[in-house]
Chains A and B, each alone.
Chain A
């Protein structure tokens, strides 16, 4: 008895499975509710601000406060708490653009005073100063 030669039906691809990190129902999916157009800023009174707009304003305000705090620290004695329970004090000079490094002078370390030093932000847990 000869079984006829068959070829399996070709498929374009397999069904997509879960993405593994979200519950799905993509907001840009086929049936997503249409989002209303964001109104022009001039026409929009404060009372009708969208939550996203308010959030961004809050973020901007907090960022500005932080940058001003860094300005206020210049030339002052700052006490840094580092990892492993290490505490050091120094005169604050500046940070770089991304606030990844702190440029300090007269850094008091357990092995002596360092005239100029760069402290890595990732090594710093917290810092405090009196303006």
Chain B
């Protein structure tokens, strides 16, 4: 009896989810942060999707969000021209870093001492989090708004992507080392430290480059425009999602399309594997995050594997029940769940 993927829908956001990030694996498990145009980024337990808290404070759409390795700090980038650093345990705002334009991307170094930001002002900024009053170091050179900026090579280098270029910078000298040009808009970038791999998406392409030399390794074409892709920690699979609302899973070695899933009601903006590779999360224009199993049918988190032979009595029967319309049923239950009326404070729209 083949098992069919049951995505777990995490509701709560009221507008499109544009970015998501996982923390590393901590003694308390791993965590997930989602950036949303409703200005209220949320922290969730990574393996179950359970909501933990909402970071309140931004006055505009939040375009980027990240967690540090041990999930003690969070950083967010918003349309209110600020990046904020938060205590991810208490939810309190620790720092507000003023910028001159919309901030799109934030990234912590491995030791959480520095925060990299980038945005529409085309500048990369490096903040020393131990000296929040000090002016950040600035790196200029981009000729269009920065969409993504990441630390790489053990924080000795910086990767940044704007509309048509990906650039590699040396942290110490603050100068450009190399750049890649694209004739299509770069939609996303992911950095895999183990193996120094860079995943870049543009158009329908999912491309893999060396993060050290920026030399191309390989690339795949998807059936539709891809907005985000993520490589499995063990580099066996990659997942991608985009404008056709579907998620695709490919074999990294052969490029063969293994699985594809419908489920979201809008374009997928971000997709990431969990740090243990057991699941991947997708964020969509439809305002939801969905968690998907890497190995369908495995018992993990909220998914409970049932062997067909045991399934004679109620013991094995899942609480949701499994007629053929399970997907729609789960959607209904999810929508009951999601009608928690979040107090609509009269906050300023972006």
Instruction: Tell me if chain B binds chain A.
Output: yes
CB atoms of A18 and B1 under 8 A apart: no
CB atoms of B291 and A15 under 8 A apart: yes
| Shortest beta-carbon distance from B214 to chain A in Å | 38
Please measure, in the bound complex, the distance between the C-alpha atom of A7 and the C-alpha atom of B297, giving whole angstroms.
10
Is B49's beta carbon under 8 Å from chain A? yes
Which of B273-318 touch A at CB < 8 Å? Answer: 291, 293, 296-297, 302-306, 308, 316-318
How many chain A residues have a CB neighbour from B under 8 Å?
Answer: 27
Of A4, A15, A19, the contact of B9 (CB 8 Å cutoff): A15
**8 CB < 8 A contacts A-B:** A9-B297, A10-B318, A11-B8, A12-B303, A13-B302, A18-B12, A20-B340, A32-B89
CB atoms of B91 and A11 under 8 A apart: no
Contact with B along A20-36 (1 / 0, CB 8 A): 11011110011111000
Instruction: Given A18-B12, A18-B42, A30-B28, decide whether A6 and B2 contact each other with a Cβ distance below 8 A.
Output: yes
Q: Which residues of B contact A (CB under 8 A)?
A: 1-6, 8-12, 28-29, 42-44, 48-56, 89-91, 291, 293, 296-297, 302-306, 308, 316-320, 322, 326-327, 330, 333-334, 337-338, 340-343
Q: Which residues of A contact B (CB under 8 A)?
A: 4-21, 23-26, 29-33
Q: What total count of A-B pairs have CB within 8 Å?
A: 125
Q: Which residues of B contact A15 (CB under 8 A)?
A: 8-10, 44, 48-51, 291, 302
Instruction: Given A6-B1, A18-B12, A29-B52, decide whether A11 and B318 contact each other with a Cβ distance below 8 A.
Output: yes
Q: Which residues of A contact B56 (CB under 8 A)?
A: 23
Please measure, in the bound complex, the distance between the C-alpha atom of A24 and the C-alpha atom of B338, giving whole angstroms.
16
Q: Which residues of A contact B10 (CB under 8 A)?
A: 15, 17
Instruction: Given A15-B50, A31-B89, decide whether A4 and B12 contact each other with a Cβ distance below 8 A.
Output: no
Please measure, in the bound complex, the distance between the C-alpha atom of A30 and the C-alpha atom of B30, giving whole angstroms.
12
CB atoms of A13 and B3 under 8 A apart: no
Q: Which residues of A contact B337 (CB under 8 A)?
A: 14, 16-17
CB atoms of A8 and B302 under 8 A apart: no
| Shortest beta-carbon distance from B39 to chain A in Å | 13
CB atoms of B304 and A24 under 8 A apart: no
| Shortest beta-carbon distance from A6 to chain B in Å | 4
Q: Which residues of B contact A4 (CB under 8 A)?
A: 2
| Shortest beta-carbon distance from A56 to chain B in Å | 24
- Among residues of A, the one whose C-beta sits closest to the C-beta of B297 is A9
Please measure, in the bound complex, the distance between the C-alpha atom of A26 and the C-alpha atom of B90, giving whole angstroms.
8
- Among residues of B, the one whose C-beta sits closest to the C-beta of A4 is B2
Please measure, in the bound complex, the distance between the C-alpha atom of A14 and the C-alpha atom of B139, giving whole angstroms.
44
Q: Which residues of B contact A5 (CB under 8 A)?
A: 1-2
CB atoms of B340 and A18 under 8 A apart: yes
CB atoms of A14 and B334 under 8 A apart: yes
| Shortest beta-carbon distance from B295 to chain A in Å | 10
Please measure, in the bound complex, the distance between the C-alpha atom of A94 and the C-alpha atom of B243, giving whole angstroms.
73
Please measure, in the bound complex, the distance between the C-alpha atom of A29 and the C-alpha atom of B291, giving whole angstroms.
22
| Shortest beta-carbon distance from A29 to chain B in Å | 7
- Among residues of A, the one whose C-beta sits closest to the C-beta of B326 is A8
- Among residues of B, the one whose C-beta sits closest to the C-beta of A7 is B322
Instruction: Given A20-B343, A21-B343, A31-B89, decide whether A10 and B320 contact each other with a Cβ distance below 8 A.
Output: yes
Please measure, in the bound complex, the distance between the C-alpha atom of A19 and the C-alpha atom of B338, giving whole angstroms.
10
Please measure, in the bound complex, the distance between the C-alpha atom of A13 and the C-alpha atom of B320, giving whole angstroms.
8
| Shortest beta-carbon distance from B87 to chain A in Å | 9
CB atoms of B342 and A20 under 8 A apart: yes
Please measure, in the bound complex, the distance between the C-alpha atom of A18 and the C-alpha atom of B337, giving whole angstroms.
9
Please measure, in the bound complex, the distance between the C-alpha atom of A7 and the C-alpha atom of B248, giving whole angstroms.
20
Instruction: Given A9-B6, A9-B305, A15-B49, decide whether A23 and B91 contact each other with a Cβ distance below 8 A.
Output: yes
| Shortest beta-carbon distance from A71 to chain B in Å | 42
| Shortest beta-carbon distance from A84 to chain B in Å | 31
Instruction: Given A9-B6, A11-B320, A31-B28, decide whether A18 and B54 contact each other with a Cβ distance below 8 A.
Output: yes
